[in-house]
């Protein structure tokens, strides 16, 4: 399926906030309230049967955290990235771990590293950080006594 055909199929069903092609992969931005419907549609109707991963990006200047889902279709060999912006002060979005089993582990990791609350996730226990760690290590404002900051590139 071409970039345009895939985008047209999505636009016929969903209101999208933006889209772009990046290194041959369609990136679509949607409202967080549409994430479950969008990923169900992509899986069931457009045959995106595999989730490579879900992660996030921290944008403190815009006061948001962006939830990111990277999907693949074994049938069509197409790839797509779905993005949803979340309020940085209270980042939360519905879990998709019941739609894509891969998301269960990745949502746990992303919750731990970026502070996103995945609503209705079956088990958001930390995976990687020590007990009692304050903050979210992949946020740009994370500070810790053992952290060696990168030098400024100015």
Handedness of CA 3, 5, 9, 15 (dihedral sign): positive
| 6-21: average pLDDT | 94
Structure tokens at 111: 């919750």
> What does the pLDDT read at residue 154?
63
Residue 143 within a domain: no
- Does the structure show a pLDDT above 80 at 149? no
Q: What is the pTM of this model?
A: 0.91
Query: Which is more confidently placed, 2 or 40?
Result: 40
Long-range contacts (CB closer than 8 Å, 24 or more residues apart) made by 60-64 = 60/88, 60/139, 60/140, 60/141, 63/87, 63/88, 63/89, 64/88, 64/91
In a domain, 137, yes or no: no
112 within a domain of the structure (yes/no): yes
Residue 47 lies in a domain: yes
What is the domain count for the chain? 1
In a domain, 105, yes or no: yes
Q: Tell me, what CATH number does 79's domain have? A: 3.30.460.80
Tens digit of each residue's pLDDT (9 = 90 or more) over 68-96 = 999 999 999 999 999 999 999 999 999 99
Give pLDDT tens digits for 116-141.
999 999 999 988 888 888 888 999 88
Tell me what pLDDT residue 34 has: 97
**Does 77 map to a domain?**
yes
How many CB atoms within 10 Å of residue 106?
Answer: 21
Residue 135 lies in a domain: no
Half-sphere exposure of 84 (CA within 13 A, CB side): 22
- Find the domain containing 28 and state its range: 3-119
């Amino acid at each position: 399926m071409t970039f345009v055909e895939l985008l047209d199929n999505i636009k016929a069903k969903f209101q999208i906030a933006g889209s772009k092609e990046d290194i041959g992969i369609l990136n679509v931005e949607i409202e967080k309230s549409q994430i479950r419907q969008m990923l169900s549609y992509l899986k069931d109707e457009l045959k995106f049967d595999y989730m490579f991963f879900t992660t996030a990006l921290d944008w403190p200047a815009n006061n948001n955290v962006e939830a990111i889902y990277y999907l693949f279709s074994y049938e069509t060999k197409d790839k797509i990235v779905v993005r949803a912006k979340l309020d940085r002060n209270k980042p939360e979005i519905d879990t998709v771990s019941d739609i894509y089993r891969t998301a269960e582990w990745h949502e746990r990791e992303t919750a731990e590293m970026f502070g996103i609350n995945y609503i209705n996730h079956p088990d958001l226990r930390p995976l990687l950080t020590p007990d009692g760690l304050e903050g979210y290590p992949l946020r740009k404002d994370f500070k810790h006594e053992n952290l060696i900051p990168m030098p400024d590139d100015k």
